[in-house]
Structure 1
Amino acid sequence: MVNSTTGNRKHFIYTLAATTLFISTYYLLLPVLPLYMQGMGGSKFKIGLIMGLFSASSLFLRPLAGQASDLKGPVKIMKWTILLYFITPFFYMTHSFVLVSIAQLFYGFTIGAFTISSATVITTSVPLEKVGQAIGIHSIALILAKGLAPTLGTLVHTVWGLYPLIAITVLFSFAALLVTWRLPEIKPASKPGDITFRQVLTYRMVWVCSLVLLSVTLTFGTIMTMLPLLALERNISQYSLFFTVNTLAVVATRLFTGRQDRLTQEALIAVSLLLIFLAVMLVSGSYSLITLIIAAIIYGLGYGAVYPALSTLVVLRTPSEIRGSAFGLFTAAFDIGVTLGSVWGGFSEYLGFKTIYFLASFSPVIGLICFVVFLHGENVWNKILMRNAAK
């Protein structure tokens, strides 16, 4: 286990359970919402824009949520975000694009803030040398929610419809709140005035890893938002198996990549980006379930390795007093990528699915080039920082 003390072990497990439950609430709805809005008469472009609002909300508010986690304590932020969530289900029960858009904005903030805070709890509950392993396990909880919940959501919606599915998301959130209430409050790492956004940006690894993550999640947003409609257009049944197979591949990968050192992590990031490129190319040309499943396996291997490796580099290269803010910036890049991917997916209305996925596949290649170039200049960057500090 990642910690030797019984108390911290219990807190670690509680955090994982709360994370899985609460993150699942949105991903239960994810594969259903595009079909629901299409039934309301929405075009592919409008659906892409509205789905992108979820990530756009997190994009602007995650850095603030990270700073709030440093100043108020991450457990307190976890509780507040779950309570705020309970406003959103009622908006999804309408047939209004405006209210569904508002729900996406609320949901984006609550999920984003909760993710940052729970990750901060995880990193503070284990010794520094085991942070990589802890992040890997925490990310498995996230992927279980993001991978298995869509399959369950599709099943519930098919059998019982939208309203029972929304009721299940409320039950999941209530369970997450009960578990979170068992966590002890964590003393804030900083005081007001101690943290500035400019200070976080001086840590080069934060924004380098953020840029690479953006290049990855652009493909994630494009796939997850438009996959149901691609499958419908190409007559691919049981497409939800993509989410399940992808999740299993991610979990298997992270069980073996949680304890790598920094040098191995950097090599792992490079290989992972190439795997993601290959997987998205396969989705572009997929006209059968077997091709989608192969793409899901390859994508899962790449995505499964790249996220914890990038997260670990961020944690190890930032001091504890700004770790929440650093994670806020890092995960904001996740949302930028998903937002761009969702909006880009909407252009399938004009370009077709084959073209948008083909072009999206080059995003991780660009990320790889940036990663290699920035790492190559790290010594120069460090010399500049040392020179400025000496003035």
Structure 2
Amino acid sequence: MTSQPIAQGTPVLLRILPISFVNFCTYLGVGLPLAVLPAYVVYELKLGVVLGGFSVSSQFLSTMVTRSLAGRMSDAIGARRTVIYGLVAALLAGLMLTAVPMARDMPLFAYGLIVASRLLLGFGESCSGTGTITWNIGRVGPLHTAQVMSWGGVAAYGAIAAGGPIGGYAFDLDGLWAVGLLSTLAPAIGLAVALAHAETPIVPGDRTTAGRTLVLVLPFGLALMLGAIGFGGVASFGGLMFVAAGWSGASLLVAVFGLSFAGTRVVFAGQIERFGGYAVAVAALALETVGLTMIWLATSPLPALIGAAFAGLGFGLVFPALGVELMKRVPASSRGGALGIYTVFLDLALALAGPAAGLIIGHVGYPGIFAAAALCSIAGIGLVAFCYMNRKA
């Protein structure tokens, strides 16, 4: 298939959306097995809940480890090629998943296939998530970084949200084989779209070392991480808090947060370019703090749901707002590497949120998670102020 160059008169959004759709296809492959794999490991392979949990978390560990590699690949060999490698990895991961039911009489071997599939998918997610953003920045220019990052997040989290129920339906219909088939088709569609679009030029110039890049990214990444603790708390324990309080609609808290998160990126991403990333990041973290505090103090479902809406509206802009300012600090030739390291902090926050929240629950109950997350958001505001005061003239 022949790659087509970008028509220069094409509106920015129409240039962003095709590559964001590629990212959607990759993350759909991520989301499809999420809800069914732990149950399959526990009830079909009978390997216990610990291995059931690791069947999912192994992919996120792989993603966290390979994010930086994917960023450096984008800088060195091109973003499009990096994305294609990621899509091929995700496609192979889906094929491996289709083979698992054929090996269920050998539980350990079947489990090995699952973990290998998840590790490969983690690499694919890294390449796609980092590569599509770098590719889109190259297509529309750094002035539109906020829009690129915002639509990248909408694609990723929208795909994961859609993948869960679709994967569950496919599993009920024809077992894990059907889930694996869909997990193969999704990146295959993304691959077809990626091959139809041209590479952007590799930016020439010396690339900063990994250590120097980490120093540049660190304060921005830590601020992002502190904001993301609230996201992890809502996603992991929001429904459980409703159940523990005896409230109905346990899934609504996560749904409201997710819809607000996606909506604010679609509607308000342009405000980052208008007011600047630092100002928007402070306002976003402040709004998230208000929302998390409302969840903490809620005595009935409605205030908690309103708080989730505020928290989602706030956190939705933290990643692109800080990312815009970070990209200004990093040489264009090292943009992908910086983006990869920056995203690791989001992965790290989500990885740590569960264990940390578990410790908090034992002492102050579920609401205490959201009080702690609100304090983290406040600390994030302080870090954003530090980044602002230390910006280059």
Q: Same fold (TM over 0.5)?
A: yes
The answer to whether 1:114 aligns with 2:114 is: no
The answer to whether 1:29 aligns with 2:40 is: no
TM-score, normalised with respect to structure 2: 0.79
Aligned mates of 1:299, 1:38 — CA distance in 2: 34
Q: Residues 135 and 19 of structure 1: is their aligned pair in 2 closer, same or farther, counting only changes over 3 Å?
A: same
CA deviation map 1:238-277 (0-9, x unaligned): 5444454333322332222324347543222122223333
Matches within 5 A, 1:162-181: 162-181=176-195
The answer to whether 1:12 aligns with 2:25 is: no
TM-score, normalised with respect to structure 1: 0.79
Aligned mates of 2:297, 2:52 — CA distance in 1: 23
The structure, 1 or 2, with the larger RCO (C-alpha pairs under 8 Å, 6+ apart) is 1
Aligned mates of 2:170, 2:360 — CA distance in 1: 28
2:281 corresponds, among 249, 264, 269, to: 269
CA contact (8 A) 1:81 1:111 kept: yes
CA deviation map 1:137-183 (0-9, x unaligned): 33332332244444544555567665434432222222111111112
Aligned mates of 2:293, 2:214 — CA distance in 1: 34
User: Matched residue of 2:32: which SS?
Assistant: helix
Letter in 2 for 1:208: P
Q: Residues 293 and 152 of structure 1: is their aligned pair in 2 closer, same or farther, counting only changes over 3 Å?
A: farther
The answer to whether 1:53 aligns with 2:66 is: no
CA deviation map 1:79-110 (0-9, x unaligned): 11111123434457566666544444333222
User: Matched residue of 1:260: which SS?
Assistant: helix
Aligned mates of 1:118, 1:302 — CA distance in 2: 24
Amino-acid identity (%): 21
Matches within 5 A, 1:1-391: 4-6=8-10, 12-33=16-37, 42-43=48-49, 51-89=56-94, 90-91=96-97, 100-153=114-167, 162-190=176-204, 194-201=207-214, 203=216, 206-226=217-237, 239-254=250-265, 255-261=267-273, 264-281=276-293, 290=302, 293-345=305-357, 347=359, 353-376=366-389, 378=390
Letter in 2 for 1:130: H
The CA deviation at 1:363 is: 2.2
CA contact (8 A) 1:46 1:346 kept: no
CA contact (8 A) 1:151 1:241 kept: no
Aligned mates of 1:103, 1:50 — CA distance in 2: 9
CA deviation map 1:2-51 (0-9, x unaligned): 985349876533202111121122123334455556655755x7766664
CA contact (8 A) 1:3 1:126 kept: no
The CA deviation at 1:58 is: 2.2
Q: Residues 33 and 268 of structure 1: is their aligned pair in 2 closer, same or farther, counting only changes over 3 Å?
A: farther
Aligned-CA RMSD value: 3.7
CA deviation map 1:176-231 (0-9, x unaligned): 1111111213333357x74421332453xx32211111112233334334556666
Q: Residues 111 and 252 of structure 1: is their aligned pair in 2 closer, same or farther, counting only changes over 3 Å?
A: same
Query: Can you give the 5+ residue segments of structure 2 that lack an aligned partner in the other structure?
Result: 1-5
Q: Residues 72 and 50 of structure 1: is their aligned pair in 2 closer, same or farther, counting only changes over 3 Å?
A: same
Moved more, 159-168 or 309-318: 159-168
Aligned mates of 1:33, 1:287 — CA distance in 2: 35
Q: How many residues align?
A: 375
User: Matched residue of 2:201: which SS?
Assistant: coil
Aligned mates of 2:193, 2:200 — CA distance in 1: 16
Q: Residues 199 and 84 of structure 1: is their aligned pair in 2 closer, same or farther, counting only changes over 3 Å?
A: same
Aligned mates of 1:285, 1:134 — CA distance in 2: 36
Aligned mates of 1:361, 1:78 — CA distance in 2: 36
Aligned mates of 1:250, 1:293 — CA distance in 2: 13
User: Matched residue of 2:324: which SS?
Assistant: helix
The CA deviation at 1:114 is: 1.0
Query: Can you give the 5+ residue segments of structure 1 that lack an aligned partner in the other structure?
Result: 384-391
The CA deviation at 1:134 is: 3.2
User: Matched residue of 2:270: which SS?
Assistant: coil
CA contact (8 A) 1:70 1:190 kept: no
Aligned mates of 1:31, 1:228 — CA distance in 2: 15
In the other structure, the counterpart of 1:387 is none
CA contact (8 A) 2:63 2:126 kept: yes
CA contact (8 A) 2:15 2:140 kept: no
